[in-house]
Amino acid sequence: MTIVHTLASGSSGNALLLSCGESRILLDAGISCRRITAALRELGLEPGSLSAILITHTHADHISGLQTLLKRCDAPVLATERAGRELAWRLPAVEARLETLDFGGSRSIGECAVTAVPTSHDAPGSCGFRLDTEDGSVGVLTDTGYVTDEAADALLGVDLAVLEANHDVETLCSGPYPYYLKQRILGPQGHLSNADAACFAAALAESGASEIVLAHLSRENNTPAMAQTAVEQALSAAGAAPLLSVAPRDCLGPAHVVCRRSVCKR
Structure pTM? 0.95
Interval 206-233 mean pLDDT: 97
Report percent pLDDT > 70 for the chain: 98
Identify the pLDDT of residue 134.
Answer: 94
Q: Pick from 164, 160, 158, 118: which is nearest to 141 by CA?
A: 164
pLDDT at 186 over 80: yes
pLDDT at 104 over 90: no
Label residue 263 by pLDDT band (50, 70, 90): low
- Structural domains of the chain, with CATH: 2-257 (3.60.15.10)
pLDDT at 266 over 80: no
pLDDT averaged over every residue in the chain: 95
Identify the pLDDT of residue 166.
Answer: 98
Interval 206-230 mean pLDDT: 97
Report percent pLDDT > 90 for the chain: 95
Please report the DSSP string for 60-92 in residue order. HHHHTTHHHHTTT----EEEEHHHHHHHHHH-G
Secondary structure of residue 114 in the 3-state scheme: strand
pLDDT at 265 over 50: no
Interval 231-244 mean pLDDT: 97
- Alpha carbons 104 and 89: distance in angstroms, whole number: 25
Identify the pLDDT of residue 259.
Answer: 87
* Per-residue pLDDT tens over the stretch 7-66: 999 989 999 999 999 999 999 999 999 999 999 999 999 999 999 999 999 999 999 999
Q: Is residue 147 exposed (0-12), middle (13-18) or buried (19+ Cβ within 10 Å)?
A: buried
Q: Pick from 65, 5, 83: which is nearest to 41 by CA?
A: 5
Interval 108-120 mean pLDDT: 96
Identify the pLDDT of residue 122.
Answer: 96
Residue 227 CA, distance from chain mean position? 16
Identify the pLDDT of residue 262.
Answer: 56
* Per-residue pLDDT tens over the stretch 144-167: 999 999 999 999 999 999 999 999
- Cα dist from 216 to 32, 70, 188, whole Å: 17, 24, 17
**Helix 224-237 vs helix 194-206: crossing angle, to nearest 10:** 40
Interval 171-199 mean pLDDT: 97
